Amino acid sequence: DTAVSQTPKYLVTQMGNDKSIKCEQNLGHDTMYWYKQDSKKFLKIMFSYNNKELIINETVPNRFSPKSPDKAHLNLHINSLELGDSAVYFCASSLRGSDEKLFFGSGTQLSVL
Protein backbone atom coordinates (compact mmCIF):
# COMPACT_ATOMS: atom_id res chain seq x y z
CA ASP A 1 0.00 0.00 0.00
CA THR A 2 1.25 3.46 -0.90
CA ALA A 3 1.84 5.54 2.22
CA VAL A 4 1.26 8.97 0.66
CA SER A 5 -0.66 8.94 -2.58
CA GLN A 6 -1.53 11.90 -4.75
CA THR A 7 -3.55 12.17 -7.93
CA PRO A 8 -3.26 12.86 -10.73
CA LYS A 9 0.36 12.06 -11.59
CA TYR A 10 0.27 14.37 -14.62
CA LEU A 11 -1.95 17.38 -15.24
CA VAL A 12 -1.87 19.32 -18.50
CA THR A 13 -4.22 22.27 -18.76
CA GLN A 14 -4.78 25.66 -20.34
CA MET A 15 -4.08 29.03 -18.77
CA GLY A 16 -7.05 30.34 -16.83
CA ASN A 17 -8.47 26.94 -15.90
CA ASP A 18 -9.12 25.72 -12.35
CA LYS A 19 -7.67 22.39 -11.24
CA SER A 20 -7.34 20.27 -8.10
CA ILE A 21 -4.75 17.82 -6.83
CA LYS A 22 -5.73 15.28 -4.21
CA CYS A 23 -3.56 13.74 -1.50
CA GLU A 24 -4.17 10.98 1.00
CA GLN A 25 -1.91 9.39 3.62
CA ASN A 26 -2.53 6.08 5.40
CA LEU A 27 0.26 6.46 7.95
CA GLY A 28 -1.88 7.92 10.71
CA HIS A 29 0.17 11.11 10.65
CA ASP A 30 -1.11 14.36 12.11
CA THR A 31 0.65 16.79 9.77
CA MET A 32 0.45 17.14 6.00
CA TYR A 33 2.22 19.49 3.58
CA TRP A 34 2.27 20.78 0.05
CA TYR A 35 5.65 21.50 -1.54
CA LYS A 36 6.39 22.95 -4.97
CA GLN A 37 9.46 21.85 -6.97
CA ASP A 38 10.46 24.22 -9.75
CA SER A 39 12.33 23.52 -12.97
CA LYS A 40 15.66 23.89 -11.14
CA LYS A 41 14.58 21.15 -8.71
CA PHE A 42 14.28 23.59 -5.81
CA LEU A 43 11.74 22.28 -3.31
CA LYS A 44 9.81 24.90 -1.37
CA ILE A 45 7.05 24.53 1.19
CA MET A 46 3.68 26.04 0.37
CA PHE A 47 1.32 24.92 3.13
CA SER A 48 1.22 22.79 6.24
CA TYR A 49 -1.81 21.42 8.09
CA ASN A 50 -1.83 19.82 11.51
CA ASN A 51 -4.93 17.78 12.27
CA LYS A 52 -6.97 19.76 9.71
CA GLU A 53 -5.73 23.13 10.98
CA LEU A 54 -3.62 25.42 8.77
CA ILE A 55 -0.20 25.88 10.39
CA ILE A 56 2.04 27.22 7.64
CA ASN A 57 0.97 29.43 4.75
CA GLU A 58 3.98 30.65 2.82
CA THR A 59 3.77 33.62 0.47
CA VAL A 60 1.67 31.74 -2.02
CA PRO A 61 -0.83 33.54 -4.32
CA ASN A 62 -4.37 33.25 -2.98
CA ARG A 63 -5.30 31.41 -6.20
CA PHE A 64 -3.93 28.39 -4.32
CA SER A 65 -6.34 27.08 -1.70
CA PRO A 66 -5.60 23.98 0.35
CA LYS A 67 -8.40 22.03 1.98
CA SER A 68 -8.12 19.32 4.62
CA PRO A 69 -11.44 17.49 5.15
CA ASP A 70 -9.77 15.20 7.69
CA LYS A 71 -6.23 14.62 8.90
CA ALA A 72 -5.62 11.89 6.29
CA HIS A 73 -6.42 14.14 3.33
CA LEU A 74 -5.01 17.41 2.05
CA ASN A 75 -6.17 18.66 -1.33
CA LEU A 76 -4.86 21.60 -3.32
CA HIS A 77 -7.14 23.68 -5.53
CA ILE A 78 -5.66 26.17 -7.97
CA ASN A 79 -7.77 28.87 -9.62
CA SER A 80 -6.99 30.78 -12.79
CA LEU A 81 -3.87 28.82 -13.63
CA GLU A 82 -0.89 30.75 -14.97
CA LEU A 83 2.14 29.65 -16.98
CA GLY A 84 4.35 30.16 -13.93
CA ASP A 85 2.35 27.58 -11.98
CA SER A 86 3.95 24.84 -14.06
CA ALA A 87 5.97 22.71 -11.64
CA VAL A 88 5.89 19.44 -9.75
CA TYR A 89 3.72 19.57 -6.64
CA PHE A 90 4.47 17.18 -3.79
CA CYS A 91 2.27 16.20 -0.92
CA ALA A 92 4.00 14.99 2.25
CA SER A 93 3.16 13.97 5.79
CA SER A 94 4.90 13.63 9.14
CA LEU A 95 3.88 12.06 12.42
CA ARG A 96 3.49 15.26 14.39
CA GLY A 97 5.22 18.28 12.91
CA SER A 98 8.56 19.84 13.51
CA ASP A 99 11.90 18.04 13.70
CA GLU A 100 10.61 14.90 12.02
CA LYS A 101 11.13 13.06 8.76
CA LEU A 102 8.73 13.71 5.93
CA PHE A 103 7.11 11.04 3.79
CA PHE A 104 6.46 12.28 0.27
CA GLY A 105 4.03 11.31 -2.43
CA SER A 106 5.34 10.70 -5.94
CA GLY A 107 4.37 14.16 -7.16
CA THR A 108 1.97 15.76 -9.64
CA GLN A 109 3.59 17.29 -12.70
CA LEU A 110 1.47 20.29 -13.67
CA SER A 111 1.95 21.81 -17.11
CA VAL A 112 0.07 24.99 -17.91
CA LEU A 113 -0.08 25.77 -21.63
Partner 1 sequence: TQLLEQSPQFLSIQEGENLTVYCNSSSVFSSLQWYRQEPGEGPVLLVTVVTGGEVKKLKRLTFQFGDARKDSSLHITAAQPGDTGLYLCANYGGATNKLIFGTGTLLAVQP
Could you say whether residue 105 binds partner 1 (CB under 8 A)?
yes
Could you say whether residue 66 binds partner 1 (CB under 8 A)?
no
Could you say whether residue 5 binds partner 1 (CB under 8 A)?
no
Could you say whether residue 60 binds partner 1 (CB under 8 A)?
no
Could you say whether residue 42 binds partner 1 (CB under 8 A)?
yes
Omega into 69 within 30° of 0, i.e. cis? Answer: no
CA atoms within 13 A on the CB side of 9: 1
| Span from 12-20, 22-30, 68-76, 92-100 in contact with partner 1 (CB under 8 A) | 92-100
| Span from 16-24, 35-43, 61-69, 72-80 in contact with partner 1 (CB under 8 A) | 35-43
Distance CA 54, CA 80 (A): 22
- Tell me the CA end-to-end span of the chain in Å, nearest whole number: 34
Between 10 and 82, CB nearer to partner 1: 10
Number of Cβ within a 10 Å radius of residue 64: 18
